[in-house]
Every structure is written in C-alpha cells, then in structure tokens.
Amino acid sequence: MSFPTHRPRRLRRSALMRNLVAESRLTAERLIWPLFVRSGRDVVKPVPSMPGVNQLSPDRLVAEASRAVEAGVGAILLFGIPDRKDARGSGALSDDGPVPVAVRALKERKLPLVVITDVCLCEYTDHGHCGMVTTAGEVDNDSSLEILAAQALAHARAGADWVAPSDMMDGRVGAIRKALDANGFKDVAILSYAAKFASAFYAPFRDAAESKPQFGDRRSYQMDSRNAREALREIRLDLEEGADLVMVKPALAYLDVVRAAREAFDAPLVAYNVSGEMSIVEAAAERGWVDRRGMILEILGSIHRAGADLICTYWAREVAEWLRGAPRG
Ligand code: PBG
C-alpha cells in the first residue's frame, strides 16, 4: 500500500485555513451596481425579466444608493429611461434628463460613491440603435460621435465621476475625451466598454432599459462573439484614444477574453456580469433547482479570478451585504 506524498487536502481542513490560503477574494468596494433611472417621484417599477431590479425615480435611486454605500459598494452605473424618444436620441443631451437629475441628486448628498454614467443612445432613440441611423437603415459611425460626446458632457456637467460609453462606435473614446477636455472636465474619467460583444445575454436588459432595436440587430457595431484577438485590438485602440479603464462584456461567456486582457494591458479592467447571466440564475433559483447564493458567489468569484479588477453586477448590493456577514440572503 503506497500513501500519497503530497496532501493538498491538509490546507482544506477548516474554513479558517481555507480563508488563509485563498488566492482571490471578492470585495464589496470593487463592485459596480447598475441602476435604471426614469423621471418622476416615488417610482419603483419592477423589470419582469430581472427579478429584484427596478426602474427608479431619482429620489428612490438616491435612497437605494445610500443603502449600497452602507453595504460597502464602491460605485454605481446609471442608465436613463427618457420620457420621449426620437430618431436622434435628443433626450440624451438634456441637462434635465433622468441621468443628470439623478447625478445631481446623488452629488448633493455627497455619498462616498463613484458615480458612473452609461453613454449610449439606444435608450433615447425611437429605433433603439446605439447611434444615428441613415436613410438606408445603417448605423452611421461618425455622425454619432458628436452626439455621444454631447451626452457625455451633459453627464459631466451634472457631476458624473466617470462616463462609460457602451455604443461601440469607432473613435468615440477620443471624441469624448476631446469634448471633456475642451470643456474643463479633464478629471472626468472614461470607462470604455472596449470589448463589447453582440450577445444574446443582453435580452433582459433591453426590457429594463426599453432599448430593444426596432429593426435589425447590433452586429454591425458590437463585436462578433467568435473573436478574442479582436477584443484585445479594441481595448488597445480605446487605451490609445484615452480610456482610463476598459471593460469586457459580457463576463461569464468571455472569461478567456478577461484573462487575455488582464495579461496584455495594465489599465484597470472591468467585467460586466450582464442581465442574461443574472436572469438564468434567478430563473433556476425560483424553481428551486440551484443554490442561488452559492452560484452568485461562484460566478462573481470566477470573474474576479479570471482577472477583472472591478465587476459590474446587478447583485452588487446584496453580495456586498453578504460579504459583510449579513444574514443569509
Ligand atoms: C447599451 C447597453 C446594453 C447593455 C449595457 N449597455 C445593451 C445592448 O447593447 O443592447 C447590456 C447590459 C446587460 O445586459 O446587463 N446601452
């Protein structure tokens, strides 16, 4: 009978030991909580395909954000749902749109929270695309840049700390950086959704943001899911244009890209655990098929382990509460 020489199990004998030798650790201050804001007061409108997620009016959003701060969440990411949409997405440029109103309200409260705003036109255009649509029905890159830069400026004027372009037009990081610098916002950082893939995992979000394309799809601007090398190229270009942080999105089906980006670049790396990744867990948990909490921690842990510094997740506040040792959720 020969016994093993090496016994890795020795260090797995107790939770105390496992904690001592754990190679990676999720922390609340590295979580970014996405929130949906619309106009009004006292509005809490549930999103059916995303259990636990609501569209909120600015007053309610501030209340939710305060709870997130208490739980230790480091940042929130705001998406706006305007009252009216048009072909040019002009609602995106208004200083009185839901996002600028919410940012001002948050900043007045001086919450210790980094406020990030999503810069994209799909929530604001009646056709639901992320840029300007030509008469031929194509999404036009260059005419979209000016509008995206103006949207980023409206967010910066309201007090956003970081702006996060998610439209995937070429050159938008450079255009936004130039506009911010020219208008005295040199300290507003750009978190670029640099490697954003055209993904079936976004479907529930489009319910939440009311941003489903009315014709066609987003494959002419978002990346082809078969391409990992191209993702690195997209990231490099955005860094060259002045991005301060870069994102890979979605996270779970693209952990190889997260790892490759971590190894290739030194900029802070963000991964977005998107709506579909959340909804599949919630749906299975509702049926009693899985251990919800276990799955959530394992999923977020895998994104962290793959190399993401920051993780966007709809579970941010809840997970932050768990990490603080709050009662089982
Ligand atoms: C576009 C945008 C999308 C998401 C974030 N920003 C959707 C899309 O490209 O259609 C998806 C986020 C998610 O699924 O959680 N503004």
Query: Which residues in the chain show pLDDT less than 50?
Result: 327-329
Token pair recorded at residue 177: 């950086």
pTM score? 0.96
186 is catalytic: no
pLDDT for 53-84, tens place per residue? 999 999 999 999 999 999 999 999 999 999 99
Distant-in-sequence, close-in-space partners of 22: CB < 8 Å, separation ≥ 6 = none
Q: How many residues does the chain have?
A: 329
Beta bridge partners of 133: 139
DSSP characters for 148-197? HHHHHHHHHHHT-SEEEE-S--TTHHHHHHHHHHHTT-TT-EEEEEEEEB
Please report, as a single letter, which amino acid is at residue 286: E
Residue 1: predicted pLDDT: 76
Do the beta carbons of residue 39 and residue 59 sit within 8 Å? no
DSSP E strands in the chain: the ranges are 31-38, 44-46, 54-56, 75-81, 114-119, 132-133, 139-140, 162-165, 189-196, 245-249, 269-273, 310-313
Active-site residue identified among 107, 178, 196, 212? 196
Distant-in-sequence, close-in-space partners of 118: CB < 8 Å, separation ≥ 6 = 34, 77, 78, 79, 80, 99, 164, 166
- Residue 208 CA to ligand 1 centre (angstroms): 10
203 CA closest ligand 1 atom index: 14
Residue 270: predicted pLDDT: 98
Do the beta carbons of residue 54 and residue 47 sit within 8 Å? yes
Question: Which stretch of DSSP H or E encloses residue 236?
Answer: helix 229-241
Token pair recorded at residue 33: 């909580």
Residue 326: predicted pLDDT: 53
Rounded to an integer, what distance in angstroms lies between the CA atom of residue 119 and that of residue 193?
10
Rounded to an integer, what distance in angstroms lies between the CA atom of residue 107 and that of residue 212?
31
Do the beta carbons of residue 193 and residue 272 sit within 8 Å? yes
High-pLDDT (> 90) share of the chain, %? 95
Rounded to an integer, what distance in angstroms lies between the CA atom of residue 129 and that of residue 206?
11
Distant-in-sequence, close-in-space partners of 293: CB < 8 Å, separation ≥ 6 = 322, 328, 329
Beta bridge partners of 55: 36, 45
Pocket test for ligand 1, best of 37, 205, 218, 275 (most atoms within 8 A of CB): 205
Pocket test for ligand 1, best of 211, 218, 223, 225 (most atoms within 8 A of CB): 211
Rounded to an integer, what distance in angstroms lies between the CA atom of residue 318 and that of residue 102?
22
Cis geometry, peptide bond prior to residue 48 (ω within 30 degrees of 0): no
